[in-house]
Structure 1
Amino acid sequence: MKNFKLFLKVKIFNFKDKIFTIFNFYKNFKYFLLDSVFSFIYLFINPYREVRIFNQKKGLSDIYTYGETPIKTIYKIAKESNIDKKSNFLELGSGRGNVSFFIRLIFKCKVTAIEWVDKLINISKFLNKIFYLRIIFLKKDMFEISFNNFTHIYLYGTCLNEKEILKFTDKFKKESKKAKIITISYDLNFYDKDYKTTKSFDVDFAYGKTKAYINILKEHRNGE
């Protein structure tokens, strides 16, 4: 019964998010077409299953590391972090690509998306091509790319462990200085005192309410 209630809660949440998306963003005809095709494709493909199979093949200990950001939530995040057409947005772990598609079509900025699950990124690349969106989709580990030139980096990353978070913060310090890093459920200052939080706010996910944090590097750091 408990699992059924959770299942029902998630379904209702996703339905409400879809209604929000339709009423607020389907006036953008290209987004309407893309989201319609996107939704149709994923009637037949379960992203959670694809991620589980991929992680099993990789021999990872935690095979259920997947989650998605609702459209209403990413819209709030984009507004709070001042994303506009001059921005250069990087999504680390794009999953099905719904966040990157949304940011590209609604905010009309440059978008790069990183994902390493084969089927998910292949579908994203297919949609990117047929709708001529010019998003850069890369099948890479997040630690294999350069963080230079991005103005906003979205790190959902609720499944990252402390070692991985510190690896990210160290890499960012070497490669980029001015980007806003958006994290969910934790701020980077908790792990690395060279970072500070400029803003935090409530956001909704299917599992409940949590906090989003906008992090930047402090201007003056020890040793610089």
Structure 2
Amino acid sequence: MEWKDVKEYFTLMGINLLVKGRNFKEYLKVLYRYYRKPAFAKVDGSLVLMYLFDNPFSISRRYFIHRPHQQEFTYGETPLTTLELISKEARLTSEDIVYDLGAGRGRNCFWWKSFIGCKVVGVEMVPDFVIRAKRIQRKLGLEGVEFIQEDFLKTDLSQATVIYLYGTCLEDETIQKLITHFKTLKPGTRIITVSYALSDYTKEPLFETMKCFPSRFTWGEADVYIQIKK
């Protein structure tokens, strides 16, 4: 084995340990901050058990492996401590109607409902995620949170006051299509994106960036943009 291979091996191992360390730290923060609320602890515990032997990354990969034109939809989750920061910066209140585009297993949606008290709509293409989220919703009798199995490029967003788009791996063409879709949004709608501002992808004065701040994710740090639809 050459020296460069050894160096690369230890570099990758170091990155892996760093990510695992961050994830463990996040787990402890979640237990301390959010599990004090029994209702959310029950929801999040149900999510953990439901995906214990079939993790969401595997489910997403199985779904998209036969859809090569949709490989950009890589699964990822926003850490709850980061979601709390984003919610504060975006000034979310119980009066908001939040649409989570690419909701995955619905953890963000359940957190928003539990801690902000707003109405939440999770839009997700993978049927298994929606089926399981609805199962938890029915089992625990949760109201004010809805899950839709649909391509978010086709979702009616006319009721939204806030849109959250984690989509860090979306291709330029998809972002352009989203911008076209967002033209129908009500003026004043807040759009939250990770890693890029929508204004970078259009020459039309459709959006105004109100805030940009760094946030931590499981894979590293990225800028979060809070924009207003003009």
- Provide the TM-score with structure 2 as the length reference: 0.89
Which residue identity does 1:111 align to in structure 2?
Answer: V
The aligned residue for residue 129 of structure 1 is 138
33-42 vs 181-190, which moves further: 33-42
**Structure 1 equivalent of residue 94 of structure 2:** 85
C-alpha distance in structure 2 between counterparts of 1:167 and 1:174, whole Å: 12
Question: Is residue 2:207 matched to residue 1:195?
Answer: yes
Shift of 1:92: 0.1
Tell me the residue number matched to 1:207. 219
Q: 1:73 to 1:130 in 2, by over 3 A?
A: same
Please, what is the CA RMSD of the aligned residues? Answer: 1.6
1:191 deviation in Å? Answer: 1.0
Task: Give the CA deviation at 1:115.
Answer: 0.6
Q: Does the CA-based 8 Å contact 1:52-1:63 persist in structure 2? A: no
Instruction: Give the secondary structure class of the aligned counterpart of 1:199.
Output: strand
Greater C-alpha radius of gyration: 2
* 1:9–1:122 Cα change, 3 Å: farther
Please say if 1:182 is aligned against 2:182: no
Partner SS state of residue 127, structure 1:
helix
Offset at residue 187 of structure 1 (A): 0.7
Q: Work out which of the residue numbers 140, 144, 160 in structure 2 matches 1:150.
A: 160
Report sequence identity in percent.
31
Match of 2:170 in 1: 160
Q: What is the aligned partner in structure 1 of residue 45 from structure 2?
A: 36
The answer for unaligned runs of 5 or more in structure 2 is 1-8
Amino acid at match of 2:209: T
One-letter amino acid of the structure 1 residue matched with residue 71 of structure 2: D
Within 5 Å, give how 1:41-120 maps onto structure 2: 41-60=50-69, 62=71, 65-120=74-129
SS of the residue 1:154 aligns to: strand
Match for 2:194: what amino acid? I
CA distance 1:206–1:55, shift in 2 (3 Å): same
Distance across 2 between alignment mates of 1:43 and 1:10: 20
Q: 1:213 deviation in Å?
A: 0.4
Q: Using structure 1 for the length normalisation, give the TM-score.
A: 0.91
2 CA distance for matches of 1:152 and 1:61? 25
Q: Deviations over 1:120-174 (max 9, x none)?
A: 2211111111112221100000011111121110011111111111111111112
Q: 2:90 & 2:177 partners in 1: Cα distance?
A: 24
Equivalence for 1:221: none
Runs of 5+ consecutive residues of structure 1 not aligned to the other structure: 219-224
171-180 or 5-14, larger mean C-alpha shift = 5-14
Q: Which ranges of 4 or more aligned residues in structure 1 deviate by more than 6 Å? A: none
Matches of 1:71 and 1:47 in 2, distance apart? 16
- Summarize deviations over 1:184-223 as a string: whole Å, max 9, x none: 00011111242120011110011111110001123xxxxx
Asked if 2 retains the 8 angstrom alpha-carbon contact of 1:55 and 1:63, the reply is: no
AA at the equivalent of 1:211: D
Name the CA shift for 1:58/1:91 in 2 (closer, same or farther; >3 Å). Answer: same
Equivalent pairs counted in the alignment come to 218
